Structure 1
Amino acid sequence: MDIITGPDGLQRSHSGGSPANVALGLSRLGHPVQLATRVGRDDFGRLVQGHLETSGVKLVHGSVVDAATSTAIAVLDDAGAATYAFDITWALSDPVEEELRDGPPTHVHTGSIATALSPGADQVFSTLNALRPSATVSYDPNLRPALLRPAEQEREQVEQLVAISDVVKASEEDLAWLHPNETPDRTAARWARNGPALVILTRGANGAQAWWRHGSQSVAPVPVRVVDTVGAGDAFMAGLTSRLLRAGLLGGGPGTEAATARAALRAVTDTDRLPAVLGDALAVAARTAALTCTREGADPPTAEQVG
């Protein structure tokens, strides 16, 4: 649960959590989505469940536990940007891990605290490795330094997750913190050469930059009146993933293996020019993020609103 304090000093509560926001965004864009998570049987937990289920997100069996729901306290500045403080316990229950392995998805997304905070982070990494033969993978480090060890101790884990992912999105702030002696552009380009088929570096109001093995392309920002930026990066990830899924460049379907989509994504990025299908996906991602900035909290748009 995000507990948000605005510049006016008023406090509001919204369902949050980076992978949960991506799940919500994908569901509103018309995809069947399940979320493997940890939510308490308390008032906050009931609010989170209601928020997700109203938009069609199903919780994986075992995600609701007899414990308090985690919270993130976000304080907004006059520009709507957030700084965070956390009260979080993170671990996947045994039923969640069993269900994921028994009925694997065709695409899996993860990131942020889920991939950084023990003991759950180790479970996530193990589960991703088990799912990768049957599912494509996307990852957003979405780093929260207040919860992490020094950057030099976090790098190996982040780089391992990048290496097994097909698509990675990261912010300039993420990469500047993680690799202070290397520009974010150089880090993103290196990742694209050595692992994922596509790496996106988001630059806030300055748009984004996409890297693939043989090239790079800027992504224009969409001008909007900003209410706050909470969940904007997650909305970008949802919009991007949605379009790549629909193009058959991520995931699978009846009779389609993940390897087919993975090979298709590699094939379209085997060029020095941005393929039209990726340009469309990035433009949709930018619109999805921009529309989210016009609302309070992580409240991504529907497919009809994105257009």
Structure 2
Amino acid sequence: MAKVLVAGEALIDVVRRQNGSVEAHVGGSPLNVAVGLARLGHDTELATHIAGDPYGALIVEHLSRDSVQLTAGSDTAARTSTAQATLAQDGSASYEFAIDWRLEQHLSADFGHLHTGSIAAVLQPGAIQVEQAIRTAREHATISFDPNARPSLMGDPHDARAQIEQLIGLSDVVKASDEDIAWLYGEQASLDAVLNLWGQLGPSLAVVTRGPSGARVHLSRTGEFADVPGASVNVVDTVGAGDSFQAGLVSGLLDAGLLGGPDARAALRSATLQDVLPAAERAIACSAITVSRAGANPPRRDELPA
């Protein structure tokens, strides 16, 4: 099974709930994806930028519990980044960030798949380093990307869209939420039109999540669309839901031999909807389990439906 490298931010979420309680949790979208993949049984490494401070120690401990390897040189930051997450009554979260992002460490070529996205894809100086890492990795690995828009950090959506579309063009799989698309392209943007555009840029598979309504799947080669229904679940909060979906999607595609190296890239390019829909269904299941419990707590493989 192909080793997975996740490149992106790891931070501490300081969560403020409606009842006034304040909690500190390890977070960061790429970190959550790495943990989600490890819990689903995949050999996973995280390349990130943290410090040797108490918050950094919390992150290292968190990763070690799920056997996520930390790329050498990931602990050279001056301070570990933080995000203030405020939860609304419906469980949705809004964020404020204090982040320094760089990807300066040497990345070996011993992985078959690279995932990145979120803040790491647009926040300089690390964003250009992420793009360079993707270009190098494409020779031996497949690529997945999640824009995971954070408007308070990403500035003007027009500027962010240019960088995001550049990375979409280098990816094999792109996943986004309907909220990401609304921010990047406007509230009136057609999801199908955006997915068609992304398919023309390069990826073989594009998926958009729609909260409780499930997900929309698009195959670039055939132009086909398919809807995957959401799961009925009692929502505790939505923290980490999209990251769990991403981990489940990548996991299912890895298991199907549609990610994991140049041969898998060729297989994904010729895949049918029937080939990719089981991965989307796994993604829905992972996300549903995560929203049913507090925080970014993705499932293990034995928690998934048979």
Aligned match of 1:303: 301
Displacement, 1:189?
Answer: 2.3
**Aligned partner letter, 2:241:** A
CA shift, 1:294, in A, is 1.4
- Pairwise mapping of residues 10-25 of structure 1 onto structure 2 (< 5 A)? 10-25=21-36
Measured after TM superposition, the shift of residue 66 of structure 1 is: 4.9
Any idea what the Cα deviations from partners look like across 1:181-207, whole Å, max 9, x if unmatched?
A: 632331122212431111010111111
Q: Please give the root-mean-square deviation of Cα atoms over the aligned residues, in Å.
A: 1.2
Rounded to whole Å, the distance in 1 between the matches of 2:96 and 2:229 is: 31
Q: TM-score, normalised by structure 2?
A: 0.92
Contact 1:244/1:250 (8 A) holds in 2: yes
Match of 2:215 among 199, 208, 215: 208
Q: For each residue in 1:79-136, what CA deviation from the matched residue of structure 2 results, as whole angstroms up to 9, or x when unmatched?
A: 100000001011123xx2x2x1x33411000000010100000100011101111000
Identity within the alignment, %: 46
Deviations 1:126-176 (A, max 9, x none): 111011110000000001010112111111111110011000000111111
Take 2:233 and 2:53, find their aligned partners in 1: how far apart are those partners?
36
Counterpart in 2 of 1:182?
189
1:278 has 2:276 as partner = yes
- Give unmatched runs, 5+ long, in structure 1: 252-257
1:225 positional shift: 1.0
1:49 corresponds to which of 60, 66, 77? 60
How far apart are residue 283 of structure 1 and its match?
0.8
Q: Could you tell me how far apart the structure 2 residues matched to 1:117 and 1:210 are? A: 28
Q: What's 1:254 paired with? A: none
Structure 1 residue 228 displacement after superposition: 0.7
Say whether 1:222 aligns with 2:238.
Answer: no
Instruction: Please point out which of 143, 152, 158 is paired with 2:158.
Output: 152
Residue type at the aligned position of 2:60: Q
- What is the rounded CA distance, in whole Å, between the counterparts of 1:130 and 1:193 in structure 2? 22
Distance in 2, Cα, partners of 1:211 & 1:66: 39
Structure 1 consecutive aligned stretches of length 4 or more whose deviation exceeds 3 Å: none
Displacement, 1:21? 0.5
Determine the C-alpha separation between the residues in 2 that align with 1:159 and 1:147: 17
Determine whether 1:260 maps to 2:253: no
Q: Which moved more, 1:10-19 or 1:188-197?
A: 188-197
Corresponding residue number in structure 1 for 2:203: 196
1:104, 1:135 within 8 Å by CA — same for their partners in 2?
no
- Give the 3-state SS of the residue equivalent to 1:13 in structure 2: strand
Partner of 2:292: 294
Deviates more, 1:177-186 or 1:286-295: 177-186
- Residue 293 of structure 1 aligns to which amino acid in structure 2? V
Matches within 5 A, 1:2-13: 2-13=13-24
Choose the corresponding residue for 1:168, options 166, 174, 177.
174
Residue 89 in structure 1 maps to residue 92 in structure 2: no
What is the number of residues matched between the two proteins? 291
Aligned partner (choices 126, 129, 152) of residue 120 of structure 1: 126
Which residue pairs with 1:40 in the alignment? Answer: 51
Whether the 8 Å contact between 1:104 and 1:131 is mirrored in structure 2 is no
Match of 2:257 among 248, 260, 264: 248
Alpha-carbon contact 2:118-2:147 (below 8 Å) kept: yes
- Residue in 2 that maps onto 1:233: 242
Partner Cα distance (1:58, 1:203) in 2: 32
Which residue identity does 1:235 align to in structure 2?
S
